[in-house]
Amino acid sequence: MKTLIIRSISGLVYVALLVCPIFFKLPGFYVAVFSLIALLSLREFALLVNLNRKRWLRTILDCLAGAYLFMGHLLYCTDTMGIEVFFPYLFYLLYTLIRNIYSDREQMVRDTSLTFMGQAYVVLPLLCANLIAFGPHTTSFLDMRVGLLLTVFVLIWVNDTFAFLSGLSFGRRKLFPSVSPKKTWEGFLGGVLASMIAATLIGRFLIEGGGGSNFLMWPLLGLIVSATSTWGDLFESNLKRLAGVKDSGNLIPGHGGMLDRIDSALFALPAAFFVYTVFIP
């Protein structure tokens, strides 16, 4: 019971920190929360793949670069700054390529590849949160498309909850036993169905104009977010299995690390952005 209480409280705190800056359109809070998510997740990724184990200053630089890219992309999306905001990040990429010429030459390909993989795996999907929230006609933070971005996170949580409940009640056939032994096909299908229903209800009653010409978008969004969320979870589970650990960290009591919390979103956000781009002009 004590573990359940701790897990519930820490989960609610995480959800509140994620939802509040989006719902109330708080730019400073939004940048701080998502930049911190990028920074902490990159650190945990480096630990999982044993990157820069003896050169922790490199890991700090990689984490700061990822956080900067998120912040710079937000400034660009809201027309606060032009393309010059990306110049420091381009310098970081060039520096990363050059630095291994002068050290660790035998590990140059491995270390450089893992460094860029971390940026692509963690930061680029988070940029899709900006792209979803700030469409092509956005001119300020106040124009943020709150409903579209929050819907993605809500569907991820709905999928996780009902996949767990369905798997617990009806689970028989293993989904991917070599990576995640507890996941079942019954749980997966329960999560898909719940996500499609939730997306349809959200689009119909909570999103302005959602019941119009884009009504087919919502069940499709639920299906795609559910499927990609599961793949995101499986991908991170495989990273942890290869590293021989249960969690990516111990930052969030009862939940593990930051990467454990956002693994589903790292696959679902790009997929949701694609769906929104196709259906919403």
Q: What is the pLDDT of residues 102-157, one digit of tens each?
A: 877 788 899 999 999 999 999 999 999 999 999 877 778 888 999 999 999 999 99
Number of domains in the chain: 1
CB 155 within 8 A of CB 263: no
Q: Which domain holds residue 234?
A: 1-279
Binned at pLDDT 50, 70 and 90, residue 93 comes out as very high
pLDDT for residue 137 = 75
pLDDT for residue 53 = 73
> Which letter, b or e, does each residue of 24-48 get, where b requires 16 or more Cβ atoms within 10 Å of its Cβ?
eeebeebbebbbebbbbbbbbbbbb
pLDDT for residue 241 = 94
For residue 10, what is the DSSP state? H
CB 254 within 8 A of CB 6: yes
For residue 280, what is the DSSP state? -
Q: Kindly calculate the radius of gyration of the chain based on its CA atoms and give it in whole angstroms.
A: 19
Binned at pLDDT 50, 70 and 90, residue 101 comes out as confident
pLDDT for residue 54 = 76
Alpha carbon separation from 61 to 239, 255, 256 (Å, rounded): 22, 26, 24
Indicate the pTM of the whole model.
0.94
Q: How far, in whole angstroms, is CA 194 from its chain's centroid?
A: 20
The secondary structure element, H or E, covering residue 172 is: none
pLDDT for residue 142 = 87
For residue 123, what is the DSSP state? I
Q: From CA 180, how far away is CA 174, in angstroms rounded?
A: 9
Higher-confidence residue of 171 and 151: namely 151
Binned at pLDDT 50, 70 and 90, residue 18 comes out as very high
Mean pLDDT score of the chain: 92
Q: From CA 125, how far away is CA 35, in angstroms rounded?
A: 13
pLDDT for residue 251 = 86
pLDDT for residue 212 = 53
Residue 280, amino acid: I
For residue 209, pLDDT beyond 80: no
Q: Which of 111, 59, 46 is nearest to 248 (CA)?
A: 46
pLDDT for residue 130 = 96
For residue 1, pLDDT beyond 70: no
SS3 54: coil
Residue 234 has which token pair?
A: 């499986």
